[in-house]
């Protein structure tokens, strides 16, 4: 009895053809900026073959690794956790690692640019310092008085639920950089800082809620919010950002939290 033999070479080719059959050609239109080369940013088109089930981050990697190594962008985890690759994709703030090419009309050029309202340093990289300064200003850590407890601080499930939504923030800045108030005046604390203040103001174990409320009672604080909901639409974690801001406003009026 003869044993069927596999032609390794042709099966490898077949596999490549099957894989290639999934590929489509897209145009990635990236807003490039290098202050060492030119004073103004410009749109540059890159054509590449991708699987539509790949993510915009994969396409950016292809451009960087195979076409132009000077392309600059931030990314780390590639799984929607670190918050470092927020960018404007087809005019909307999204995480490149969570955006599938098939979901953003690959028949037309896909535009990719830096998030708005923060100074662009190079290509898709912005200066995040003002964003993190606002975050630090609201004291995003548990503050308590008195002696250290000898056992863990207890909290009921209901009390934990009170701020569950705002614990999900990954500090990607998609919300803050989608806010028209922040675009016009970068002094505004911005949605992300308020979300992170909310996370502690409504934590029953924390004892600095009043202090945080006073910080946000500032002219650049919560009252600047115009309830446009851009922040809620932009949040890749599905946090109800506008609702959190409204709750902080209400706590300021009622002093109940």
Residues near ligand FES (CB under 6 A) are: 75-78, 80-85, 95, 97
Which sign, positive or negative, has the C-alpha torsion 153, 154, 159, 164? positive
Q: Contact 194/216 with Cβ under 8 angstroms?
A: yes
Please spell the DSSP secondary structure of 30-70, one letter per residue: EEE--TTT-SS-EEEEEEEEE-TTSBHHHHHHHIIIII-TT
Binds ligand SF4 (CB under 6 A): choice among 235, 245, 248, 251:
235
**Does residue 170 belong to the site contacting ligand SF4 (CB under 6 A)?**
yes
Among 28, 192, 193, 197, binds ligand SF4 (CB under 6 A): 192
Give, rounded to a whole angstrom, the gap between the first and last alpha carbons of the chain. Answer: 82
Within 10 Å of residue 151's Cβ, how many Cβ atoms? 5
Residue 60 or 192: the one with the smaller Cβ distance to ligand SF4 is 192
Residue 92 parent element (H or E): strand 92-95
**x-marked contacts with ligand SF4 along 98-137 as a string, rule CB under 6 A:** ----------------------------------------
Q: Is the CB of 112 or the CB of 170 nearer to ligand SF4?
A: 170
- Contact flag: residue 248 with ligand SF4 (CB under 6 A): no
Which partner in ligand SF4, ligand FES, none is near 216 (CB below 5 to 8 A by kind)?
Answer: none
CA distance 247 to 220: 17
| Residue 173 or 201 having the CB closest to ligand FES | 173
Q: Which residues bind to ligand SF4, rule: CB under 6 A?
A: 83, 169-175, 191-192, 195, 234-235, 237, 239, 241
């Amino acid at each position: 009895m003869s044993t069927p033999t596999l032609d390794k070479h042709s099966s490898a080719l077949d596999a490549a053809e099957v894989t290639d059959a999934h590929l489509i050609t897209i145009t990635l239109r990236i807003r490039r900026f290098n202050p060492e080369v030119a004073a103004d940013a410009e749109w540059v088109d890159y054509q590449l073959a991708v699987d539509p089930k790949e993510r915009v981050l994969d396409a950016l990697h292809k451009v960087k690794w195979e076409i132009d190594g000077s392309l600059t962008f931030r990314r780390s985890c590639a799984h929607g956790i670190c918050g470092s690759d927020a960018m404007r994709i087809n005019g909307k703030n999204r995480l490149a690692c969570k955006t599938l090419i098939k979901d953003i009309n690959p028949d037309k050029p896909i535009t990719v640019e830096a998030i708005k309202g923060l100074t662009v340093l190079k290509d898709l990289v912005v200066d995040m310092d003002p964003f993190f300064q606002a975050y630090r200003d609201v004291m995003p850590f548990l503050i308590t008085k008195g002696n250290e407890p000898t056992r863990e601080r207890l909290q009921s499930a209901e009390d934990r639920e009170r701020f569950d939504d705002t614990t999900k923030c990954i500090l990607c800045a998609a919300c803050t950089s989608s806010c028209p108030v922040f675009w016009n005046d970068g002094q505004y604390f911005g949605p992300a800082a308020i979300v992170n203040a909310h996370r502690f103001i409504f934590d029953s174990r924390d004892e600095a809620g009043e202090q945080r409320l006073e910080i946000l009672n500032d002219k650049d604080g919560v009252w600047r919010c115009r309830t446009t909901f851009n922040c809620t639409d932009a949040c890749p974690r599905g946090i109800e950002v506008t609702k959190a801001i409204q709750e902080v406003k209400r706590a300021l009026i009622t002093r109940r939290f």
